[in-house]
């Protein structure tokens, strides 16, 4: 049984983008915390804690009134003296990086980070990210984490249904997502172009946003045996 960490009156919040979780999305995430100078944690697990990803994160945070920090997972206990709960639950928001979703999920589960992230969500810490950092919060979706071709990955399941990031940026994404939903291999769900995203409170979609003019989001479902792609027009942020 999954532990229930939800405090009365707490709003669970997730903000995702199909790709490009840069300054506009970080600004909106900071606003969602309700804090004057929120602590924003970056989890670069999906890119193997690579330095360039961490540098990019700090650069995107630089114009904002936030306190950014990074939590690596390739660690050892002599220098990592705080537990995952101590670090992650001290944040006001947590951004998961893009990268390899399959590896990210395996590492989080092995380390128990998946349980701490659920507690963070239940406590009202804002969660989010793009690509692997958006896909990870759903039950399932399409990923390029395996060799040769796009495939299906099972994720944390905080948000019900499926997800496809990079809907406009990678040619194979749209046809495969529709095919998998049409066959029943994936549950209906949400697809996001790069620089377009979705904000959820609990499991309810509250706002559709984008940091560029042409980016959109979509709800893809099966209606009377036919795949239906409904455009979700975003509000501009940033």
- pLDDT tens digits along 139-168: 999 998 899 888 889 999 999 999 999 999
State the average pLDDT over residues 30-35. Answer: 98
Closest CA to 104 of 164, 44, 46: 46
| Residue 219 appears among annotated catalytic residues | no
Read off the pTM: 0.95
**Is residue 7 one of the residues assigned to a domain?**
no
Q: What is the largest CA-CA distance in the chain?
A: 58
Print the domain residue range for 119.
Answer: 13-236
Average pLDDT value over all residues in the chain: 95
Distant-in-sequence, close-in-space partners of 174: CB < 8 Å, separation ≥ 6: 164, 167, 168, 191
- For the stretch 164-208, pLDDT in tens is 999 998 888 999 999 999 999 999 999 999 999 999 999 999 999
Query: What stretch of H or E contains 47?
Result: none
Number of domains in the chain: 1
Q: What is the DSSP string of 148-173?
A: SS-EEEE---SEEEEEES-TTTSTTH
Residue 36 lies in a domain: yes
Cβ pair 61, 68 in contact under 8 A:
yes
Q: Of 134, 145, 163, 166, which is the active-site residue?
A: 166
* 77 belongs to a structural domain: yes
Per the annotation, the verdict on 166 as an active-site residue is: yes
- Establish if 132 belongs to a structural domain: yes
Give backbone dihedrals phi and psi of 123, rounded to 5 degrees, phi first.
-85, -5
Q: How big is the chain, counted in residues? A: 238
Which of 131, 134, 162, 211 is catalytic? The answer is 131
Quote the CA–CA distance of 34 and 175 in Å, as a whole number: 39
């Amino acid at each position: 049984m999954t532990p229930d960490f939800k405090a009365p009156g707490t709003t669970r919040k997730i903000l995702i983008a199909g790709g490009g979780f840069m300054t506009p999305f970080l600004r909106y995430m900071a606003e969602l915390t309700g804090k004057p100078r929120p602590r924003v944690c970056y989890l670069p697990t999906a890119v193997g804690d690579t330095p360039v990803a961490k540098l990019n994160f700090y650069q995107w945070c630089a114009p904002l009134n936030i306190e950014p920090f990074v939590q690596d997972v390739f660690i050892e206990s002599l220098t990592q003296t705080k537990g995952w709960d101590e670090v992650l639950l001290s944040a006001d928001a947590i951004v998961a990086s893009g990268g390899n979703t399959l590896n990210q999920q395996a590492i989080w589960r092995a380390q128990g980070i998946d349980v701490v992230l659920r507690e963070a969500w239940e406590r009202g810490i804002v969660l989010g990210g793009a690509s692997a950092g958006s896909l990870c919060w759903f039950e399932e979706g399409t990923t390029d984490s395996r060799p040769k071709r796009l495939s299906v990955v099972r994720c944390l399941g905080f948000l019900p249904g499926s997800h496809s990031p990079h809907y406009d940026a990678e040619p194979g994404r749209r046809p495969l997502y529709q095919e998998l939903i049409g066959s029943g291999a994936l549950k209906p769900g949400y697809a996001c172009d790069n620089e377009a995203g979705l904000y959820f409170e609990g499991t309810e979609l509250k706002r559709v946003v984008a940091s560029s003019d042409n980016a959109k989001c979509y709800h893809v479902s099966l209606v009377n045996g036919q795949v239906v792609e409904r455009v979700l027009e975003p509000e501009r942020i940033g």
